[in-house]
Structure 1
Amino acid sequence: MHKSQYQFIKAIAGALLVVLALPFTSFGQVGVTGSQLHKIQESFLQGEIDVETAALEQVRLLYATGGLGEQSKVLHKCATPATMFVYNFRDQISSSALAKIEAYQNPPRSASKSLTTQTYISPSGKFEIEYETSGPDSVSVVDDDENGVPDYVDLVAESADSSYRHEVLRLGFKDPIPAGSTYRIVLENLSFYGETRTTGSFPQTYIRLENDFKNFPENSHPEGDEVGAVYVTVAHEFKHAIQYAQNRWAAPSGALNWAEMDATLFEEVVYDDVNDYYNYIKTGFGASTPYSSSIFFAPQNGTPGAYYHVSWMIFYSEVFGDDIWQEVWALIEEDNFLSIDDALRQVLPGRGTDFPITFVQNHLWHFASGSRIGLDDYGFAEKSEYPFSNVDTMFNTVPLQKKEVNTIRPLAARYFEVYPSSGDNGMIDIAVDFDSSQVGLGLLFYMKDGEMKERVATGEGKSQLYVPTDIAWENIDRLGVVIANYSGETSTRSLALAMGKNGNAITVRDPEYADLPKSFRVYQNYPNPFNPTTNIDFELPRSAFVELDVYDITGRKVQELTSRFYQLGSYSIPFNAQGLSSGIYFYRFQIDDAIFTKKMTLVK
């Protein structure tokens, strides 16, 4: 088996957990689904059907019923994944089967249709739009601007030029249009939004696009759903053309899930005001509940996940800018078998961070969406329009016992939510036991003053990841906890979550904290006697609020040395008695609920 085919199969395998959750979803008059193509590819992976049958079944699904003549017809998001499958396995498909596929995809054109086909060159000169003005593939002939070209064709040309400006000229992606050529877009009555097809002459492709987008799912474009659908579909399919030009749709980045995530992202990059992707992360465009294949619904299923995981890529665009994807795809062009997540692992150090940290932050943003948004600007720009995220467990008090956590698959996470009760106090510290593979821990503090605070840590090659904080349970309304597996290859197992508070200390086994104190300790000041300065040392086995005051022999407080939160560790606080008389003084610690008092002597 060729390496590209092995990678394609591996990429399908990574998608199976997403596929199993994919339902048929109805949007108004037309049913929209992305699951059937996935399921056929799954059957191939499981050995239930051979590669030739898988290729033929996908093509039949898309083409056998023709266009949207009936309102009850099932509508597919994008047909390009089927084209990718045939392209990657073409050397294993018989010539007779390839001929059948060709017949489905390119039925013979009638003489009358050939005579009525018209073309229009976009204003940039880059795109040639083919269209009909009669018959089943006809576009609307309305021409309000009276330029002799149907307004719908003008709209397609405008969106193609805009996509080219954003994706090639502004962001610097490889130009899929050979010098001196125009790029062909064919308008037809389809059972899907669009498709990017190869021409047999690398790197050339062409796009097939729905001819009217009537009764398609809702979006938010101010000029209407049909206009919005044209815009995002052209941006989406043109990104598929760029993918082909850069790595010939080689898996894993060129397989269904990563490729569709990437193309769907560029709908949002080019046309931020359309938001067609809301239909794939929520149960309906205006709903607040998460779609069953989205990260919001099932973060434990793992990325990639085609259209339904586009929010994962939006995170990186919003944090680092859209140009990060040009860097990612430049690496993929050099190494066709590089996955998008592995390319990010190479790019992010140049942005001052790393993939494990950002992977955890990505899931914290998903947690803080929908009904869990805070009062500040933390998280996605459109977080209020996103659905809420499902959690494994919600705690109404800080648990005293460890919480066993199920295995976390590659590039997946599990979410927890804690509402501290009135009796929960003391500094927050969290530990995750695991199998020494890798784990990420994200904490999201919903402060009582409305601020959101974030803590992120990662660990590998040890059996516990411990995170102390300087935040008290009594100062938060709730805590979001994300336990994540940032590996693209191996699962994280043997997980348990522990939470510390006053009266419920965590047993710390993280080797990073091996030399830390095992109990509260307050030491005798040194030197003693002293004149006029001395040092007072103490040790904390966990984060705590510390007050340290000095009193004279009559019990009068003469100086406050500290009153604040300290993380676990060893500390030394200086005391200067310059303005005090010789004599005996007492220093008094209050560490959370514990009190320690010692005597010292000032001799001048």
Structure 2
Amino acid sequence: MDQSVEIVIQSFSGNGQVRCLTPHLFNVALYGNQLDDNQKSRLRNVGFRFDRPIVHRSMEDRAEGVGLDQTLDNGYFRFHYTITGTHAIANADTNGNTIPDYIDNLVTVFQFVTDMQLDSLGYAEPPSDSWYSANSDNGGSNHYDIYIRNLESNMYGYVMPEAFANATGFGNNENTPVTELNALNSFMAMRNDYTGFPGTEEESIKVTATHEYHHAIQSGYDGYEAQWLMEATAVEMEEQVYDEINDCYQYLPGWFAEPHKALDDQSDHWYGSFIFPQYIFEHLGGSLTLKRIWEKSILNDSYYGDFSHRAISLALSSEGSSFSDALNKMVIANRIMSSSPNAGLFSYEEANTYPVSGPATFQTVTYNAGTNQSVTSTNLNRFASQYTQVNTSDPVLANLTNNSGPATDLNMHAIIAYADNSWTVYSGNSINVDPTGSSSLYLAVVSQDTSANNWDYQIDITDGELVVDNNVVPAFISVSQNYPNPFNPSTSFDIQIPF
């Protein structure tokens, strides 16, 4: 919380450095009333008020509207802008419609964003501020307010919550058939100029509009939902709406460098955690499952705690999956990191263009028959993974021991790759692996329970058997085409599974 206070104060004092201020604004808005008097005083100096359950920047006279003397209503939105002064947009009007081209472009982008997120994907429209007084800085309408301003140099944009939705009941979004408890009214700020950002200005506008509007949508379901889930799914939504832009790739190198860090870590790590909803999108029900997460989020009152993992499990249940199941599958897919059809359930459509080849390796072990090796760790976070590479031509038996909790809190996967672009995966706390013909062997340990913040574990590696143990059956086998025989492209084989 202290970090969010500092970031928000710096951002509204002209010294901000963050790309997305939204999660920190949510922290201040939702929990700011719990701050001490000194912190409240510092926030008051940059326009915050503490006279309502949601800390806000004056609903009746939003600071974001200062200096913006023009408005345009279009579709779901009211755009606030100016062509003079500090917050001026470029005033070019090439089509002569009296509306600056920059605003015309924003209108087009946001129309497409709502066509996708509301109409095509079926998300609920955010609650309106129509219940505000008519003079609320040109608010008080059914339009969602977007303020186009000169934001801090690194900042893409932000969404700010300011009140519990109140058009049809306290905390209830009038745009859904169900009753929400924590639906929030909000507004958005966008930049008046996106030059200098990664990609083109057009691309920056598109991904920012998509990302921030998804935050507005999320707030209409449960504004108190865990911020890691809000950020991860907002980044993933960029891929659904503008799949060709791939601005989200910038988050992957940092995230894959720290696979031991919690999926739900309260830091910028949550942007790279979009790979988790991306995995769900590709293999566990697509956009319907991701939308269902937000529909399920209202079943537990997040005002009283973090129910994000429960909402995910509820959404995945119709796919025969759960949060833990999806987490384990993602961990395997992250190591395989392939777009090949051979990867099956563990593929990523765009893996071949991701700026990573897989997660960082925790340890590398060279094993020779007749020796014993062990790997120990004391820094595996919850909902995270570590990968040990085993270099060996001899069969090995790997046994996982959880030194800080029940054995079921951890899971292990042996991921075996072959030169012909195929893989075999074994799962369990004791795994026998015959590496004959393989090109690599990784042991992935997954923390799949919340009972601790860090796990101490040990993997003991000893001699294994040349054949698969009768009690260990592969969780996954892929078989590549019998290339290079173009005249007989099919492969037939028999499998005998002991029972």
For the aligned pair, the TM-score class normalised by the smaller chain equals 0.7 to 0.9
In 2, Cα distance between the equivalents of 1:542 and 1:164? 49
Cα-to-partner distance string for 1:106-135 (whole Å, 9 max, x where unaligned): 79999x975x6222233xx21111111122
- 1:204 is paired with a residue whose SS is strand
Is the Cα–Cα contact under 8 Å of residues 388 and 442 in structure 2 kept in the other structure?
yes
**In the alignment, what sits opposite 2:258?**
298
Count of matched residue pairs: 420
In 2, Cα distance between the equivalents of 1:96 and 1:443? 55
Cα-to-partner distance string for 1:360-383 (whole Å, 9 max, x where unaligned): 2111222233xx877945522221
- Give the letter aligned to residue 242 of structure 1: I
TM-score by length of 2: 0.74
**In the alignment, what sits opposite 1:60?**
9
Higher Cα Rg: structure 1 or 2? Answer: 1
Cα-to-partner distance string for 1:505-543 (whole Å, 9 max, x where unaligned): 99xxxxxxxxx9xxxxxxxxxxxxxxxxxxxxxxx6989
Give 1:185-196 correspondences, 5 Å limit: 185-191=146-152, 192-196=155-159
Cα-to-partner distance string for 1:25-45 (whole Å, 9 max, x where unaligned): xxxxxxxxxxxxxxx43xxxx
TM-score by length of 1: 0.62
* 1:230 to 2:175 alignment: no
- 2:364 is paired with a residue whose SS is strand
**In the alignment, what sits opposite 2:181?**
none
- Give the letter aligned to residue 73 of structure 2: I
- 1:335 is paired with a residue whose SS is coil
**In the alignment, what sits opposite 1:183?**
144
**In the alignment, what sits opposite 2:363?**
393
Deviation at residue 564 of structure 1 after TM alignment: 8.5
In 1, Cα distance between the equivalents of 2:271 and 2:62? 33
Deviation at residue 211 of structure 1 after TM alignment: 1.0
Is the Cα–Cα contact under 8 Å of residues 243 and 254 in structure 1 kept in the other structure?
no
Deviation at residue 183 of structure 1 after TM alignment: 0.7
Deviation at residue 396 of structure 1 after TM alignment: 4.5
Is the Cα–Cα contact under 8 Å of residues 12 and 46 in structure 2 kept in the other structure?
no
In 1, Cα distance between the equivalents of 2:283 and 2:157? 30
- Give the letter aligned to residue 263 of structure 1: A
**In the alignment, what sits opposite 1:326?**
291
- Give the letter aligned to residue 206 of structure 1: F
* 1:99 to 2:44 alignment: yes
Q: CA 1:277 to 1:542, structure 2 compared with 1: closer, same or farther past 3 Å?
A: closer
Give 1:271-282 correspondences, 5 Å limit: 271-281=242-252
Q: CA 1:566 to 1:429, structure 2 compared with 1: closer, same or farther past 3 Å?
A: farther
- Give the letter aligned to residue 231 of structure 1: K
Deviation at residue 355 of structure 1 after TM alignment: 3.0
More strand by share: 1
Is the Cα–Cα contact under 8 Å of residues 417 and 424 in structure 2 kept in the other structure?
yes
In 1, Cα distance between the equivalents of 2:425 and 2:93? 54
Q: CA 1:64 to 1:97, structure 2 compared with 1: closer, same or farther past 3 Å?
A: closer
Is the Cα–Cα contact under 8 Å of residues 339 and 349 in structure 2 kept in the other structure?
no
Is the Cα–Cα contact under 8 Å of residues 356 and 486 in structure 1 kept in the other structure?
yes
Is the Cα–Cα contact under 8 Å of residues 302 and 412 in structure 1 kept in the other structure?
yes
Q: CA 1:395 to 1:205, structure 2 compared with 1: closer, same or farther past 3 Å?
A: same
- 1:277 is paired with a residue whose SS is helix
Q: CA 1:456 to 1:141, structure 2 compared with 1: closer, same or farther past 3 Å?
A: farther
Q: CA 1:340 to 1:190, structure 2 compared with 1: closer, same or farther past 3 Å?
A: same
In 1, Cα distance between the equivalents of 2:226 and 2:300? 12
**In the alignment, what sits opposite 2:87?**
137
Q: Among 481, 487, 498, which residue is 2:461 paired with?
A: 498
Give 1:319-398 correspondences, 5 Å limit: 319-320=283-284, 321-337=286-302, 338-369=306-337, 376-377=342-343, 378-386=346-354, 387-388=356-357, 389-397=359-367
Q: Unaligned stretches of 5+ in structure 1?
A: 1-8, 10-39, 42-53, 67-73, 220-224, 282-289, 458-464, 507-515, 517-539, 544-562, 571-604
Sequence identity (%): 18
- Structure 1 stretch 397-406 or stretch 298-307: which is displaced more? 397-406
Is the Cα–Cα contact under 8 Å of residues 426 and 472 in structure 2 kept in the other structure?
no
**In the alignment, what sits opposite 1:206?**
187
* 1:117 to 2:69 alignment: yes
RMSD (CA atoms): 3.4
Q: Among 382, 387, 392, which residue is 1:420 paired with?
A: 392
Deviation at residue 77 of structure 1 after TM alignment: 1.1
Is the Cα–Cα contact under 8 Å of residues 260 and 386 in structure 2 kept in the other structure?
yes
Is the Cα–Cα contact under 8 Å of residues 420 and 477 in structure 1 kept in the other structure?
no
Q: CA 1:109 to 1:299, structure 2 compared with 1: closer, same or farther past 3 Å?
A: closer
In 2, Cα distance between the equivalents of 1:166 and 1:109? 29
Deviation at residue 433 of structure 1 after TM alignment: 2.5
Is the Cα–Cα contact under 8 Å of residues 368 and 374 in structure 1 kept in the other structure?
no
In 2, Cα distance between the equivalents of 1:500 and 1:392? 22
Q: Unaligned stretches of 5+ in structure 2?
A: 50-55, 131-140, 166-183, 474-492
Q: CA 1:134 to 1:265, structure 2 compared with 1: closer, same or farther past 3 Å?
A: same
**In the alignment, what sits opposite 1:215?**
196
In 2, Cα distance between the equivalents of 1:280 and 1:541? 40
Q: Among 196, 219, 243, which residue is 1:244 paired with?
A: 219
In 2, Cα distance between the equivalents of 1:440 and 1:145? 61
In 1, Cα distance between the equivalents of 2:457 and 2:41? 51
In 1, Cα distance between the equivalents of 2:361 and 2:288? 33
Q: CA 1:214 to 1:441, structure 2 compared with 1: closer, same or farther past 3 Å?
A: same
Deviation at residue 215 of structure 1 after TM alignment: 0.8
In 1, Cα distance between the equivalents of 2:350 and 2:451? 31
- Give the letter aligned to residue 488 of structure 1: T
- 1:300 is paired with a residue whose SS is coil
Cα-to-partner distance string for 1:389-427 (whole Å, 9 max, x where unaligned): 210122344674242321332111111223433xx25xx
- Give the letter aligned to residue 361 of structure 2: V
In 2, Cα distance between the equivalents of 1:395 and 1:153? 58
In 1, Cα distance between the equivalents of 2:82 and 2:368? 66
- Give the letter aligned to residue 442 of structure 1: H
- 1:418 is paired with a residue whose SS is strand
Q: CA 1:473 to 1:82, structure 2 compared with 1: closer, same or farther past 3 Å?
A: closer
Q: Among 383, 397, 401, which residue is 1:433 paired with?
A: 401
- Give the letter aligned to residue 238 of structure 2: E
